Amino acid sequence: MSFVSLVIANSFVSVMADSRTSELNSDGTINKVKSEDYPKIFYLSDNTFMAMAGLVEDAQEFIEFSSLEQSILERGLLKEKYEITEWLEGVRQYIITDNNFKVFLGGLTIANELKVYIIDSTIRVLEELEYSENEIGYYLSPSQYIDKSWVENIFKELYRIFDGTPETMKVVQELLNDIVANSDESVNKNKRWFCLRRPFN
């Protein structure tokens, strides 16, 4: 399993993920650790990214079979939402609902907007992470064995550190990741961070 946190604001997107992959027992305990340095965030282009959570090997298989990278970008930018939705409708057969994973797509669109989209294998529809000019949007993806409301409460407590800059949001996400890692043995403290600032023309 894994832990991924995403934050989107009017001026930036910030994504952080741990790097552990493991084989779990049915009760959520670790049978064995497969890797402590598995990348879960990837650049698709200079202005776009993809991240994975949950059963990341199943997510990776879906990404490859669905030709995701070639299908959602135009000139290195995210296509319109309706186009990505049409692509997803055409590749649903590659999503096995028993395989619990999430794929996050984000970055700059061809309309020069920052967007983050979520593909959840359990519902197989494209969700958009909403935000406004004055309010951030955020998505926290702990493993199914961790209470999500507990994670959200910690994020809200740490949020006071945030001063509007990506750098302070990075601190919030680092602290949150490490607190989750202390309670979830499927998450480690080897973190990767992606940040994209929106260019203002």
Confidence band of 28 (pLDDT split at 50, 70, 90): low
Structure confidence at residue 22 (pLDDT): 84
Structure confidence at residue 77 (pLDDT): 94
Residues 53 and 40: beta-carbon distance below 8 Å: yes
Q: What is the mean pLDDT of residues 61-66?
A: 88
Confidence band of 80 (pLDDT split at 50, 70, 90): very high
Q: What is the pTM of this model?
A: 0.91
HSE (side-chain half, CA atoms, 13 Å) at 11: 8
Degrees, nearest 5: CA angle 193-196-197: 135
State the alpha helices, DSSP H only, in 22-165.
56-65, 68-72, 81-90, 148-158
Q: Residue 123: which CATH number?
A: 3.60.20.10
Give the domain extent around 73.
4-197
Number of compact structural domains in the chain: 1
Residues 176 and 169: beta-carbon distance below 8 Å: no
Rounded Cα gap, residues 137 and 81, in angstroms = 17
Q: What is the pLDDT of residues 103-146, one digit of tens each?
A: 999 999 999 999 999 999 988 889 999 999 899 999 999 988 89
% of residues, the chain, pLDDT over 70: 97
Degrees, nearest 5: CA angle 127-124-58: 110
Structure confidence at residue 60 (pLDDT): 87
Q: What is the mean pLDDT of residues 136-157?
A: 94
Long-range contacts of 134-140 (CB under 8 A, 24+ apart): 134/10, 136/7, 136/8, 136/9, 137/7, 137/8, 137/9, 138/5, 138/6, 138/7, 138/8, 139/5, 139/6, 139/104, 140/3, 140/4, 140/5, 140/6, 140/176
